[in-house]
Amino acid sequence: MIAWLKAFHIVFVVAWFAGLFYLPRLFVYHADATDEPGIKRFVVMERRLLALTTVAAVLAAILGVAMIAAVPAYLRTDWLRIKLAAVGALAVYHLWCHFLVLAFRKTPAAPPHSSAWFRWFNEIPTVLLILIVILAVVKPGGIH
């Protein structure tokens, strides 16, 4: 049973990260867009991608909690506590993306930040992914 939970957890984590990698890239293009049809298209794409990414995040979280419920001893390990903190940071980033989607929707032709700012913003989930994967696979100082 735990193997099935883990497999689907990984599937939805991958989907969540895919959305969080692509959504800020859409922000970069939106911030550079100058034509009205293009700007409107980005507003729609951002809204739809955020919705799909949110579904993936919720399912990843539910399955993660189910795995912890199946093996509560993991909660006593430092690696999982650090991983959960990194996942919390990822959730904050996701929420930040949500507010950026709302800002773009409110004033589509006036981006809240420059495209250069969004390029840097797009790197945050990469750093979190590296940390989360290392913690989940290596489990430093924890049980395997």
Give the integer Cα–Cα distance in Å for 56 and 134: 21
Q: Classify residue 88 by burial, with Cβ atoms within 10 Å: 0-12, 13-18, 19+.
A: exposed
Q: Residue 141 — pLDDT band, cuts 50, 70, 90? A: confident
Q: What secondary structure does DSSP assign to 62-104, as a single string?
A: HHHHHHHHH-GGGGG-HHHHHHHHHHHHHHHHHHHHHHHHHHH
Average pLDDT over residues 59-88: 95
**pLDDT tens, position by position, 13-48:** 999 999 999 999 999 999 999 999 999 999 999 999
- The predicted model scores a pTM of 0.94
Average pLDDT over residues 58-77: 95
Are the CB atoms for 26 and 101 separated by under 8 Å?
Answer: no
Whose CA is closest to 121, among 103, 106, 108, 135? 103
Using DSSP's 3-state secondary structure scheme, residue 114 falls into coil
**pLDDT for residue 122:** 97
Give the integer Cα–Cα distance in Å for 125 and 18: 10
Is residue 102 scored above 70 in pLDDT? yes
Residues in contact with 47: Cβ distance below 8 Å, sequence separation at least 6, in sequence order: 101, 105
Give the integer Cα–Cα distance in Å for 84 and 79: 9
- Any idea where the domains of the chain sit in the sequence? 2-138
Give the integer Cα–Cα distance in Å for 63 and 9: 5
Is residue 100 scored above 60 in pLDDT? yes
